[in-house]
Each structure stands twice: as structure tokens, then as C-alpha cells.
């Protein structure tokens, strides 16, 4: 029997582990020189734009909305197929989430439907780049410009992705990334926000730590309410160790994704009725390899059978609007039929850089076997 293959696993090398141990021995383990260095390196990576790090990806979106001055009475448009954090941050700042349905092919926000959902109260749009595949960024920013909307990119899964040769995060408005354990670069928990200018960055620092501003050696002032969202040097050391490897790791993911298409075969969709992801090897960082199961196949049963064959699968994600918290706000079945259909059937197959081609072939053979049953 083969070893259990999880759907994802972080790539942390011995040098990175040693650098974390060094921080632990240094006597300074919370935010300090490593966080500053990580922010500098991230800023270089994003073409010189200001970057601040945080203790989660979720709080970076909440803080972006706060910086944009979005709150009660404002509407924010987003996709129903994402991690629930994407919509929760809208509620967290007191604004109203407005969902628009997804595109069945990309599984991302359908920008036509997003534009149709704009009202005089709409202030922002939060597109999600599911599994690292960006939306049409030209179209997105054109809509935002014409309707005077802020954009908070939920690029939690899109570190290393691109749009027409430009890195996601290196252009646009706010870009939010997560370094949670399953993401392509991880600090165990953490995230970063790419901002437009230094005044936004200073505001982000205040939201990050109790509204505190400092001047001189012992000058401290608090002139607004902030929370406690700062990253530690332990986390920053983890991130600094992986950042130089990001390109290699992304290339490995792309190669494994290509291997999936070859191993599943050209007729896989016709034979099984399942749907494959978009064949994009330029823009996507292949954060996940997700298929949509055929109608009539119960996802839980498929996953159970894969698990019995020692293969881990994931669900990313059930539609947000059908969770109780959102139903209580008036959302119902039938409102976003594509999201509901995809959300019920989507399943994440294993994909991470340390996987081998043989692993991919085993997953494909077992998935085909289970779907034939």
C-alpha cells in the first residue's frame, strides 16, 4: 500500500528551519528585524510597492476595507465561491456583502454579473483568484475605474501568479495575500497587504497595532482604534527562507499540473462528465488542482473512496451564501446557481511541489477508477 498522499504539504527546507531556530535563540522572537527584512523583500518582489505584513490574510482584507473608509451603509461585491473569510471581512467592517455568481469555466467571479450588481451604494469589489487563477485584470480595473470602486484583490492563493507578464500584487489597488499553512508560501499563519502609498502603509501599521504612532525615542501617541495583527520574527524567518524559492516552487507546481492533464488523458471530461480546470500555464501559480465532479456523483463518497486508496482530497469551497450566517441575512438557494452547482461538486486533488510524477499518475488512476464505479 502506498503512503497517504495529502492534498497539500508545505515546502520548508533545512536552511529555513535553521533560520527559525536562530530567531528563537536570538532573544527577540516577535516582530523585529526579520519582519522588516521580509517587508523589504516583499516590496522588491511587488515592484517597489509598499507592503506590510500581518498575522493572517483575513485581517489584511479587513484593514484594506477600513483604509478605504468602507463601513455601514456601503456595499461590497464578491464571489460566493471562496473561503468564508472573503465575505466575513465585509461584515466585520459593518458593510453589506453583495454576491455575484461565478464563471463556470474559471470558477472565479463573473465580471459581467459583478458589474450588473453595482448600485449607488457599491464602494468596493473583492475578486478572488481561486487556486491562483486571476480574473481578467484589465476588465476588473476598467469596471472599478468607471464606477469609482476600490479593489481589494483576495490574492490569498495567488502569490506567484501573473497577468500578462506582470506579477499579481505588483499593480492595481490593494492586494491581499495569505501565508497560512496551505498556501504556496507559508509562515504557518500570516499575510501581507500591498498598498498604494506610504500614507496608506502608515494607516495599515496603526490598524495593525492598537492605533499606535511613534516619533523619536520615547514619543508615542494613539489617535485611532487599532487591533493586534502584527507578524512575528519567527514567521518572517519562515517567509524569508521560502521567498527566494518561490519561482522554482511555482514552476514545479505548473509542471505537475501539466502532468495531471497528460495523465488524465484528452478524453477524461467526455468519459467521466467531470470538468477540469483551465489549462493556464502562464498566469496561474497552480495553488490547487481542482476538478468539478459529474452531476450524480456524491462528493463525500468520492472523497471517502479516495481516502480508502490513501489519497487526500479537499473541498474549496462550499458556497458562502448558503451558510447559516448568510442565510440569516436573506441569502437563499437558487440565487447563484453556478456557484451552487460548482460549490457542491468541486474537489481538490493533491498538488504540492514535493509530489512526484508517479504520485500524479497514481491520483489520476485512482480518480478514474472511482469515477468508473
Q: Are 22 and 223 in contact (CB under 8 A)?
A: no
Ordered DSSP codes for 195-263: -SSHHHHHHHHHHHBTTEEEETTTEEEE-S---B-PPPHHHHHHHHHHGGGHHHHHHHHHHHHHHHHHH
For residue 365, the minimal CB distance to ligand PLP (Å) is 29
Of the candidates 183, 228, 270, 305, the residue annotated as catalytic is 183
* Sites for ligand PLP among residues 140-159 (CB under 6 A): 154, 156-157
Among 20, 85, 162, 347, binds ligand PLP (CB under 6 A): 85
Identify the helix (H) or strand (E) that includes residue 89: helix 85-92
Q: Residues near 352 by Cβ (< 8 Å), separated by ≥ 6?
A: 6, 7, 8, 9, 10, 11, 253
> Distance between CA 64 and CA 127 in Å, rounded?
14
User: Mask of contacts with ligand PLP, 156-175, x by CB under 6 A?
Assistant: xx------------------
For residue 188, the 8-state DSSP code is S
Among 45, 83, 163, 289, binds ligand PLP (CB under 6 A): 83
Contact segment (CB under 6 A) with ligand PLP among 23-31, 53-61, 223-231, 242-250 equals: 53-61
Contact status, residue 102 vs residue 338, Cβ threshold 8 Å? yes
Give the Cα separation of 143 and 115 in Å (integer): 7
Q: How far is the CB of 41 from ligand PLP (least distance, A)?
A: 19
| Cβ nearer to ligand PLP, comparing 234 with 370 | 234
Q: Does 106 bind ligand PLP (CB under 6 A)?
A: no
Catalytic (active site) residue 183: yes
Contact 347, 313 (CB under 8 A): yes
The three three-digit cell numbers of residue 40, written as one number: 523589504
- Which of 8, 78, 86, 106 lies at the binding interface for ligand PLP (CB under 6 A)? 86
The backbone torsions φ and ψ at residue 114, rounded to the nearest 5 degrees and listed phi first, read -65, -45
Residue 62 contacts ligand PLP per CB under 6 A? no
Q: Which stretch binds ligand PLP (CB under 6 A): 54-62, 245-253, 301-309, 362-370?
A: 54-62
Question: 78, 79, 122, 178: which one contacts ligand PLP (CB under 6 A)?
Answer: 178
Q: Does 275 bind ligand PLP (CB under 6 A)?
A: no
Q: Residue 180 interacts with ligand PLP (CB under 6 A)?
A: yes
Could you list the active site residues?
183
Q: What residue ranges bind ligand PLP (CB under 6 A)? A: 56-58, 82-83, 85-86, 128, 154, 156-157, 178, 180, 191
Amino acid at each position: 500500500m502506498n503512503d497517504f498522499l495529502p492534498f497539500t504539504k508545505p515546502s520548508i527546507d533545512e536552511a529555513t528551519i535553521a533560520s527559525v531556530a536562530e530567531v528563537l535563540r536570538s532573544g527577540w522572537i516577535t516582530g523585529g528585524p526579520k519582519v522588516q527584512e521580509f517587508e523589504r523583500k516583499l516590496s522588491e518582489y511587488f515592484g517597489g510597492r509598499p507592503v506590510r505584513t500581518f498575522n493572517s490574510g483575513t485581517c489584511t482584507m479587513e484593514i484594506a476595507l477600513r483604509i478605504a473608509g468602507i463601513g455601514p451603509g456601503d456595499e461590497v461585491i464578491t464571489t460566493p465561491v471562496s473561503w468564508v473569510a472573503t465575505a466575513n471581512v465585509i461584515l466585520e467592517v459593518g458593510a453589506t456583502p453583495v454576491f455575484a455568481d461565478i464563471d463556470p469555466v474559471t470558477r472565479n467571479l463573473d465580471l459581467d454579473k459583478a458589474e450588473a450588481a453595482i448600485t449607488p451604494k457599491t464602494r468596493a469589489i473583492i475578486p478572488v483568484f481561486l487556486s491562483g487563477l486571476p480574473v481578467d485584470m484589465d476588465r476588473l480595473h476598467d469596471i472599478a475605474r468607471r464606477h469609482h470602486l476600490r479593489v481589494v484583490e483576495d490574492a490569498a492563493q495567488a502569490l506567484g501568479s501573473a497577468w500578462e507578464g506582470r506579477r499579481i500584487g505588483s499593480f492595481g489597488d490593494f492586494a491581499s495575500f495569505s501565508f497560512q499553512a496551505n498556501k504556496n508560501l507559508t509562515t504557518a499563519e500570516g499575510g501581507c497587504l500591498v498598498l498604494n502609498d506610504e500614507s496608506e502603509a502608515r494607516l495599515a501599521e496603526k490598524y495593525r497595532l492598537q492605533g499606535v504612532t511613534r516619533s523619536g525615542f520615547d514619543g508615542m501617541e494613539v489617535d485611532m482604534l487599532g487591533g493586534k495583527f502584527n507578524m512575528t520574527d519567527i514567521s518572517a524567518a519562515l517567509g524569508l527562507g521560502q521567498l527566494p524559492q518561490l519561482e522554482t516552487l511555482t514552476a514545479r507546481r505548473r509542471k505537475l499540473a501539466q502532468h495531471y492533464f497528460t495523465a488524465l488523458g484528452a478524453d477524461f471530461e467526455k468519459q467521466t462528465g467531470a470538468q477540469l480546470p483551465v489549462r493556464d500555464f502562464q498566469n496561474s501559480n497552480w495553488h490547487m488542482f481542482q476538478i468539478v465532479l459529474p452531476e450524480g456523483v456524491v462528493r463525500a463518497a468520492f472523497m471517502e473512496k479516495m481516502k480508502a486508496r490513501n489519497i487526500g482530497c479537499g473541498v474549496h469551497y462550499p458556497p458562502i451564501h448558503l451558510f447559516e450566517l448568510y442565510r440569516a441575512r436573506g441569502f437563499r438557494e437558487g440565487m447563484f446557481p453556478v456557484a451552487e452547482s460548482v460549490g457542491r461538486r468541486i474537489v481538490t486533488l493533491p498538488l504540492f511541489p514535493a509530489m512526484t510524477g508517479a504520485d500524479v499518475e497514481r491520483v489520476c488512476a485512482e480518480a478514474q477508477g472511482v469515477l468508473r464505479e
